[in-house]
Each structure stands twice: as structure tokens, then as C-alpha cells.
Amino acid sequence: MNDSGHGIGGLRAAVAIARRDLLEFVRDRRTLFVTLLLPMVTYPLVALSSALGVRTAVTDLESRQAPTQLRLAISGPDAPRLAERIGEAVDLGRPETATGTAWPSGVASLIADPDSARAAIESGAADAWLLVPAGLMAALDQPGTAEIVVQLPMTRSLDRRAREQFTAVMLRVAEESRSRRIAAAGLPRTLLRPINLRYLGEPTGPQSVATENLLPTLSGAILVLLAVLTMTGAFYPAIDAIAGEKERGTIETLLMAPCSSGSIVFGKFLAVYAVTLATLAANCLSIALTSTVGLRYLPAGAASRLPSLGVGAAVTIVAFVGLAAIAAATCLAVTTASRSGKEAQNTLTPVILLVAALAGMALVPGLRGDGALALVPFTGQVMLSRDALSGAGSSDAAVGIIHTLLPLVLSLFSSAALTWLLLKGTAQLLTDEEILFRGPDAASGVLARPAPRMVPSVFQAVVPVVAGLAGLWYVQAFTPTNLLLGIPVHQGIAVVLPLLAMLCWQRVAIRQTLGLALPAQWTKTLLSAVGAALLGAGLFVTSAAIMLAVGGTEVSPAIRSLSARLIGLIQQYPWWISWTLMALLPSVAEELLFRGWVQSGLAGDKPSGRRLAAAVVTQALLFAVAHLLPERMPATFSLGLVAGCLRVATGSILPSIVLHAAHNSMPLLLVALAGSGVADGGLSDLATGESTRLPPGMLLAALGSLGVGATLVAVSTRGRHRASLQTALLVTSLVGGGLVASEGRGEETWRVAIAPVGVSLDVVEGAPTGPAAAMWEDLSLRLGVVSQYVPRDSIREALESVRQGEVDLFLGSVAMTREREDLFDFTHSVFHSGLRIAIRKTSDDPWLGALSILFTADALRLILLLAVLTVLIGHLLWWCERGVNAKSFPTSWQRGVWEGTWWGISTLIASGCDDKHVDTVPGRILATVWMLVGTVLIALFTGALAATLTAERIGGTIRGPRDIAARVIGTQASGVGGPAIRSRGGIPLEFRTLDEVFVAVDAGDAEAVIAENQTLRHAISRPGRSDYRLVGPVFESLDFGIVLPTGSPLRERINAVILTMKEDGAIDTIIDRWLGTSE
């Protein structure tokens, strides 16, 4: 192979290879089937089953929301007259306070004695029992309040619709009684109605099911199927492109051609990409043709957003062109690493399932494709296309274009970058002699160990990390909260067990892989160990300084909880137990895994300098990701980077273990020093993560520790891997070098007024607390000022202090109004607030709801049926083929049935099995029928899933203000929540306090809570409210800012920092952490 074939010559070679492979692909009937026939059969079935399912669901929902007759049992002397009054109220019609289903179609009153009335409500003959006292009717027409006792069923639950209708009818009775009282007093009825609102542009009449929201959910399901079928289009061409060449013995001839491995891979990619694009085009054509017919079966109004389909279709095609590139490159990379077509197919099958899972994230409600998710392969393209097709975004044309184009550009960039990386990796795999010439599959047992090798392969190196993360995910609910047991369980599942499993499975040189060798002289060992310990201690302090300088003083609840538990572990148990759990166990286990197994596998047996550097960086990234705490990832990355450089420089894992142990020992040392009185409480705060700044001189001491440690390690190695030592020294310098200037810097002192301001700011023992205080701590740290807090009893007193010039500013975030701006200066808005909706987390939770559909009884029965049919097909096919096709279907029952069953599984998922051929006529008839059955079943399953999700969308959980109509919503009395609910067609259930509102929702009397956004965030973050989440946007928003005296020179300085905090997301992060979020 000639590695110099780049430029124009390499491009020509790539085009020639692509042209040759395309001719081979066209002759393959499987490729034509997947590219052309499969889309034409699949989408009509999906459209028909989805449309019919949605229409049935909408009809059922509308019938359930239709008004019903209200049945009342009434007892007491005035029961007949009250029944007559209720009948008159129903005849007058629905009042403005009752909308949607909150009005009955009629009322039936049963006048009965108490015993008969009680029996009626318990048997279901009546919805409620009204016990009417004597003189009630006279009291209704006189001043005062009359009391009616309403008894609900005790042995059965009352239908929510019946309760809403009863409440609405009694409100109408009360309204008529008020009118009678006004008339009796000789006053006009308009006295109690000074304003009459008349809405224009809105249809009148009862609320119906919002079918205009069907399109986003349906399009999401179709796009998931489109992504999977596009990936399937690259399946067989990729297998034939590389693995097929290996089986035919032509790969060696191709590698001898005068072109580089990159040109060969690029040519193969062009061919596979062309077939993938053809598959995409056929799918899009089938979707377009099917849509013209399928939309007719949807309910009226479901396609109300059709005008946006033109732009949405264009965005979808462009985004999926990038997706097709990733699909082609992924399939090509997998098949290049495979020895044969059979191994390639076995590996690609789970890859397609992974792609389906990534694409299926678009079905999760609440996720949008206009952020970082646009960069995620398969997920980003599906979400971006779904949002474009559904017309989501701004109503302003210019903003809407930017809203769509920016995520599209990000998605295309991500697709191009990932494709390039995959092709580069494929080119490297193509030149790997071990992969290229290791021969075809050998018949071996399932549990046979692989051939011996010096160090693990790249794939084997990453496997224990992935297995550890997966293990943590599945057992996190069972992990003890007590760190005495939690740390060993965590280390065992995430580190020790995966590493031991790989060591037992893979036959590698353990001493070389794990770096168990020690320096020849004990003096060098001692110097490297002492130097590593100094490096670890210095890294801990400088990492804390960086977190304070960059991230501010705020930490997430997860970090805060972990810090508190660690301090509890240190204070509750002897020091040696805490040190073993916090320092010794993690350092030994994690260093053996990451700097031992992972780094050796990534570097290879005889690595080049570039590959060695890439291995060190990659294992540090994996080390950071494995700790699952985003705020700590920069610190863990730097620790992993320095530890990896030490492993390379010393050739031993021991210095890395010492470095890690010293780093993790610092919290114990700091707490011990603070507790013994050697240092002040600042060290304890630093250990717990509560510190707002470093104690004096600590940063200089840490930098000195880094310098001395790096010097000792350099002396102990005497030039071994100088580049690694230079890298470690550079990292440690970058970690702390820029922070020296912050020590001893002159600081201004500002007088800051503080006062209780709801949930945003409170005063405890003269110090501020709350999100506004946390925001100010971060802001003042960036400004380089010291705050002298001036407590005040109320907002009015604090504002007066600002107006009189007694303080420099008032910290409490105050709503900006026209009246206040005439008296004060405000900073830029620090946050917006308004009304928000909170609902209980139930099975309707976005993630659980989407997953629960796959585990219903019907779905499980379908899966069981598929499994039984697959095994049956395996038996029948083996019986037909065993006599004439023993190579594909061996004559022995056990192996033959297994091969037949595997053929059925592969055909069901990928529409064929590459390494097994069916020769007999009965076998081919059976195979054809099974292919069609698989296509039909997948299409019907996708359609049923889309219909279920769509029905859940239009009739399930409240997701925003548009879903309030005809729902009972709890809110505080005398606030803006009640009018807002009524204006959107809801039924407000008002209470004096917000706690009472939550009690009503817990009891099922209300479906959601509406309150001021920040108050609601704080409320659901309190203990006992973890089962609530926020939904929908903030509506009727207000701006809040910091108050300064008129003409204050501090305004511009504060504004500049506020803008910076908005750009880097610090303000949003602080608000989310303090007030809680479930989004």
C-alpha cells in the first residue's frame, strides 16, 4: 500500500473505488430491497395504523370530556325548593366561570330521606348528597352565608368531571342568589358586574381536544423510523465494502494499489454514502406520497400547521444528509474492525438498536433540538427536524430563521466532524495488521478466551469503563447512602468488578499493562513518590481555587450533599477508616483501571509519541466522565492528565497511586487542621466545598508544592520521557499559575442593604441567604469587592436607605416598575419571573412515560409472540434446509435451530442475514413470508407507538398554559393565578397558602399548581416535594434587578459583570440550584 497517494491522485483513486463498489452494491438484491421496497411497504402501514389509532383515541377523549347528567340526592325540609332552584340554574345555562366540561347536560334530583340518599350515593345512583337545613331557601335570599353539607361517596371515588359540574352548578345558584339580593335592595344587577369582557378572535363554545398538537408527536415517531431505516440502508453495503473484501481475499490486492489507506476508506465511504442517500431519498419520497393520503385519516385540525411543512421538509432533508454521512461512516468503521461478514453483521445489529435508542430520544416530551442536543448524532437531527416540521420557534420571521438555522449549522458541523473522525479511525484500523490478517471466524465456544496479547486493544480498554457506568446506572437505586458502605459498593461496581472481569477474560501481560514495575533504585522510588504526593496536594488546592474563580461560590445540590456526607464520614469514624475509604481504596482501584488498563490499551504495545499523548488525554477524559459530577470534571481531568503523565514518565503505576491518594487525603487533613485549632474555619469550609475564598497564603503554598513535586519527579526519572514531564509541569502551571495575582489584591468595600424579599433573599443572623445572595457573592467575587451588609427590616426601609445614600445598593432583586424607576437606578435585569405550573411526577413523567409504553401488557405480549414466532421460524427453516444446506444450517438440532433462530432475528431487525443462504424452495417461501411479516410488524409497532404517544400528548399530563382548559388548577387566593386560570378556560381552586394548594393536589382535588415562578421553584425544592416538576414556560413575566441610588457610578460596573454572568450561564445555574428545577 502506498501512503503517499494524497491530493488529486488520491481523490481519483477514491472515486474509482467508489464507482466499482457501487456496481457491486446495485447487483445485490438485499440492497435494492432495503433501499426501495422496504420504505414503500413500511410507511403506508405506519401512516394507516397511526392515523386510525389517533382518530380512535381522539374520539374516545372527546366522548369522555362530553358533559353528562348531574345526579343529586337531596334531603331536608327545603329539599324540593332547593332542587327547583338548582334546576332553574341549570336551565339558565353555563356561567362564565364554568367552561369546557364543567357544565352538566342536565340535572336529576332525588328527594329522599338520609338513609336512602346515603345508599344512593354509595350505589352510584347519585353523585352527591346535599343535606339541606331548615330555612335554607329563606337564608339564600337574605344577607349572610348559608351552609349546605355535601356528602360524597365513601366506598367509591367520585368522577372528577361530576365534581367539576357540581361546583359549577352551585356557583350558578350562588350567582342567582346574589342577583336576588341586589334586586330586593332596589339596586341594579350591574352593580356587581362593573366590567363585561367580550373576546374577539376566539371561538366560543365548549373546549375540544387540541388536535392541532398532533403533528409534532406524529412527525417525531416518523422521523425516528426514518433515522433507523436510513441507518439500515448503509448496513449491507458497508458489510460488503470491507468485510466482504476480506472474505473474498481481495483486500490485500486493494491495499497494494498505489493509493493511501485514507483514499481507500474515502472511496468505500463514498459508495456506502451514495447508497445511504438513495435509501434516504426513497424513504422521503414514500413519506411524501403517504402523507397525502394519511393526513385524510387524521382528526380535523390535526394538520393545521401544514404551511410550515415546506421549510420543515427542507430542514429535515439537509439534517438527514448529515445523519446519512454518520450512518455510512459508522457502519464502515464497524465492518472494518470485523474479521468477516458474519462478525460485521453480529456487531452492526446492536449498533442499529443503539441508533434507534438515540433517535427515540425525540419522543421524550420537553426536549428541544435548539441547544446542545443538536450536536448529538441521530438525536440532534431527529429533534431538529421535528421542531422544524411542527413550526416550533419564534413568531418573528427573522428570529425564526435564526432559531432554525443555528441548530442546523451546529448539527451539520457535528455530523461532518464525527464523520471525519470515524473515517480517520477506519483508515487506522485498515492498516492494523492484527485486525487485517487475523483470519476468518474460527469455530470456538461462546466463552472461549481471545488469543494472548501484550496489552488490551482500544475496544477492550474502553469496555470496563462503559460496563462500570452501566452498572452504576442500574444499581444506583440500591446503593447505600451511608458512605461507609456506599464507597466500597461504588468502587466495586464501577471499577473493581469490570477490571477483574477483563483481567480474567483477556490474556494480556498484566505486569506491563498495569504498570506494576518499580524503579530499579529505592531512592528513585522514594523521590518519585514524594514528588507525586506534593503534586496531588497542590492540585487539590489549585483546583478549588479555579472552581472559585471561574464557577463562583455556588455548588450544585449533588456536590453539597456529597461534601456533607464526606465530612460526616470523617467526623463520625476513626481517621484510618475515612482515609481508607476516601483515599486508599479509590486511588488503588481507579489508577489500576484508568492509568493501568485503559491507558495501556489506548497507547498500544509500541506507541508513537502522538498516540501516547492521545492515550493520556483520552483516559483523563474518561476518568472525568466516570465521576459523573460536571462541576468536578475539570479537576478530575487535570488529576487524570497529571497521573497519566507520571505513569508514562516513571514507567510505574506507583507514583500515580500516591498522587491520587494525596489528592484525596486533603479533605481529611484540612478538617483535622481546622478541628485542632491549627487553622481557622476556612480550611474546613474548603474541605466541605462551602468556602467562598481561599485562606491567606494557601494558594502560594499549593503552587510551591506543585513546583517542588514536579522537580522531585524529574530528578527521579533523569530524563525518561521528558515530554511527559514537561506536559505534567505545564498542566500544573496552568492550573494555578494565573491565580497568584488574586492573592493579596486590593479590594473595595461596598455597603449593601439586605432585607427579607420572599424566596429570593432572606436574612439570617445578619447575613443574606438565598439565590439573590448567592448571585451577589459570585458577582462581588468577579468585581473584586468586599460587601459590608446593612440589614433592614423591610423592603421599604431598604429602599429608603438607598434613596438617602446610606448604602451603595440594595441587594434584594426588586421588580422594575415605572414608579420605582423614577426614584432609583436599576441594574440590568438579573432574572425574569412570572407564573409557572407545577405537576406531580407520576407515570406521566416524560422519561418514564415514554419508556412505560414499551412495557405495557399488550407490548409484552407482542414481544413474547415475536419471540415464539422467531423460534418457530428457526425450527421450520432448519427442517427445510438441514439436508441440502448444512453449512448455513447444521444437521444437529441444537446448532441448526440456533442458526435458524439467529437468521430469524437478523431478518426481523435488518431484513436479512448476510452469512446464511436459503437454498430450498420451501425455505425461500418461508424466508420471503418472514421478511414481509417482520416489515409489517415493525411498521404496525411504530404506528401503535406513535398513536399512543399522540393520545397521551393531547389528553394526558398538563404541559403548559395551553393545557389548562377544563382542568382544576390550585392556586393562592387574591393573586393573579385565579384570573389567569379562568382566562385560559380552567377551573381555579383557590386556597389561602401555597402549602394548602399542594395538599389539595396531593389529595387529587386539583391537577396542578400555578404560582409565581420563583416561589414555585422554591416550593418544589423543599423536603417532601421531590415528586413535583415544573412544566411549560413562564407566562406574564416581570424583570427584577438590583437597586442603586440615582446616578450611581457603580451601575455600569455591575451591569458589565451581570452581562458576563448571563453569557456564561452563571445566573441561570444559581437560580436552578437554589430554587430547584425538574425540567
Place 957 in a pLDDT band, splitting at 50, 70 and 90.
low
Angle at which helix 1066-1075 crosses helix 1050-1063, to 10 degrees, equals: 80
Asked if 953 contacts 965 with a C-beta cutoff of 8 angstroms, the reply is no
Residue 977 has pLDDT above 60, yes or no: yes
Q: Is 323 part of any domain?
A: yes
Span 271-277, mean pLDDT? 88
**572-576, 792-796, 953-957: range with lowest mean pLDDT:** 953-957
Q: Residue 840: which of 1051, 614, 1043, 998 has the closest Cα?
A: 998
Residue 259 has pLDDT above 50, yes or no: yes
Burial class (CB in 10 A: 0-12, 13-18, 19+), 146: middle
Q: At 931, list the grid cell.
A: 421478511
More confident residue, 37 or 88: 88
Burial class (CB in 10 A: 0-12, 13-18, 19+), 93: exposed
Q: Residue 390: which of 371, 414, 369 has the closest Cα?
A: 369
Amino acid letter, 1048: S
What are the CA-CA distances from residue 424 to residues 330, 429, 888 (Å)? 12, 9, 35
What are the backbone angles phi and psi of residue 809, rounded to the nearest 5°?
A: -165, 165
Show which of 697, 713, 742 is a domain's final residue. 742
Q: Quick one: 285 and 403 in the same domain?
A: yes
pLDDT of residue 211: 47
Q: What is the pTM of this model?
A: 0.50
Phi-psi region of 67 (alpha: psi -120 to 50; beta: other; left: phi over 0): beta
Q: Is 300 part of any domain?
A: yes
Q: Residue 705: which of 642, 756, 752 has the closest Cα?
A: 642
More confident residue, 985 or 269: 269
- What gap in Å lies between CA 624 and CA 638, rounded to an integer? 9
Q: At 517, list the grid cell.
A: 514495575
- DSSP for 263-280 reads HHHHHHHHHHHHHHHHHH
Q: Is 130 part of any domain?
A: yes
Q: At 584, list the grid cell.
A: 486508599
Element (H, E) at 70: strand 69-75
- What gap in Å lies between CA 1045 and CA 119, rounded to an integer? 70
Q: What are the residues whose beta carbons fall under 8 Å from the beta carbon of 863, sequence distance 6 or more?
A: none
Q: The domain spanning residue 862 has which CATH number?
A: 1.10.287.70
Q: Is 168 part of any domain?
A: yes
Best mean pLDDT range from 38-52, 470-484, 890-904: 890-904
Q: At 323, list the grid cell.
A: 445523519
Q: At 424, list the grid cell.
A: 480517520
Q: Quick one: 489 and 539 in the same domain?
A: yes
Q: Residue 238: which of 413, 424, 30, 42 has the closest Cα?
A: 30
Residue 589 has pLDDT above 90, yes or no: yes
Q: Residue 272: which of 204, 215, 328, 321 has the closest Cα?
A: 328
Residue 107 has pLDDT above 80, yes or no: yes
Q: Is 997 part of any domain?
A: no
What are the CA-CA distances from residue 276 to residues 31, 409, 419, 1018 (Å)? 10, 21, 14, 50
**24-38, 579-593, 823-837: range with lowest mean pLDDT:** 24-38
Q: Residue 1010: which of 835, 873, 865 has the closest Cα?
A: 835
Q: What are the residues whose beta carbons fall under 8 Å from the beta carbon of 476, sequence distance 6 or more?
A: none
Q: Residue 374: which of 325, 424, 398, 408 has the closest Cα?
A: 408
Show which of 941, 973, 1001 is a domain's final residue. 941
More confident residue, 301 or 890: 890
Q: At 471, list the grid cell.
A: 452498572
Amino acid letter, 471: G
Q: What are the residues whose beta carbons fall under 8 Å from the beta carbon of 398, sequence distance 6 or more?
A: none
pLDDT of residue 216: 59
More confident residue, 173 or 373: 173
pLDDT, tens digit, for every residue of 668-727? 887 776 554 434 444 444 444 444 455 556 778 888 888 888 888 888 876 554 544 455
Amino acid letter, 1057: V
Q: At 696, list the grid cell.
A: 491567606
- What gap in Å lies between CA 243 and CA 427, rounded to an integer? 14
Q: Quick one: 489 and 620 in the same domain?
A: yes
Show which of 689, 720, 742 is a domain's final residue. 742
What are the backbone angles phi and psi of residue 1041, rounded to the nearest 5°?
A: -145, 180
Q: Quick one: 51 and 185 in the same domain?
A: no
Span 129-149, mean pLDDT? 80
The rounded mean pLDDT for the chain is: 75
- What gap in Å lies between CA 86 and CA 356, rounded to an integer? 57
pLDDT of residue 643: 92
Residue 447 has pLDDT above 60, yes or no: no
Q: At 473, list the grid cell.
A: 446506572
Q: Quick one: 54 and 72 in the same domain?
A: no
Q: What percent of the chain has pLDDT over 90?
A: 5
pLDDT, tens digit, for every residue of 353-392? 778 777 877 666 656 655 666 777 888 888 888 878 776 5
Q: The domain spanning residue 177 has which CATH number?
A: 3.40.190.10
Q: Is 534 part of any domain?
A: yes
Helices (H) and strands (E) in the chain, counts: 44, 15
- What gap in Å lies between CA 406 and CA 399, rounded to an integer? 11
Element (H, E) at 471: helix 458-475
**Total structural domains within the chain:** 4
- What gap in Å lies between CA 307 and CA 309, rounded to an integer? 6
- DSSP for 757-786 reads BTTTBEEETTEEESHHHHHHHHHHHHHTEE
Q: Quick one: 19 and 43 in the same domain?
A: yes
Q: Residue 943: which of 282, 55, 278, 296 has the closest Cα?
A: 55
Torsion sign (Cα): 964, 968, 970, 976: positive
User: 117: number of CA atoms within 13 Å, CB side?
Assistant: 21
Asked if 206 contacts 62 with a C-beta cutoff of 8 angstroms, the reply is no
Q: Is 759 part of any domain?
A: no
Q: Quick one: 360 and 386 in the same domain?
A: yes
Q: Quick one: 506 and 635 in the same domain?
A: yes
Q: Quick one: 640 and 725 in the same domain?
A: yes
Look up the domain containing 691 and give its range: 458-742
Q: Quick one: 56 and 72 in the same domain?
A: no
Element (H, E) at 978: helix 977-983
Rounded-to-10 torsion of CA 453, 458, 460, 465:
140
Burial class (CB in 10 A: 0-12, 13-18, 19+), 471: middle
Amino acid letter, 416: A
Burial code (b: 16+ CB inside 10 Å, e: under 16) for 968-982 equals bbbbbeebebbebbb
pLDDT, tens digit, for every residue of 525-569? 888 889 899 999 888 888 877 766 655 545 555 666 677 677 778
pLDDT of residue 914: 59
- DSSP for 86-109 reads HHHHHHH---TT--TTSS-SEEEE
Q: Do the strands 831-840 and 785-791 form a parallel or antiparallel pair, or are they unpaired?
A: unpaired
Q: At 117, list the grid cell.
A: 340518599
Asked if 716 contacts 723 with a C-beta cutoff of 8 angstroms, the reply is no
Q: Quick one: 51 and 83 in the same domain?
A: no
Q: Is 864 part of any domain?
A: yes
Q: Quick one: 238 and 282 in the same domain?
A: yes
Q: Residue 320: which of 202, 236, 231 has the closest Cα?
A: 231
Place 656 in a pLDDT band, splitting at 50, 70 and 90.
very high
**Residue 752 DSSP class:** E
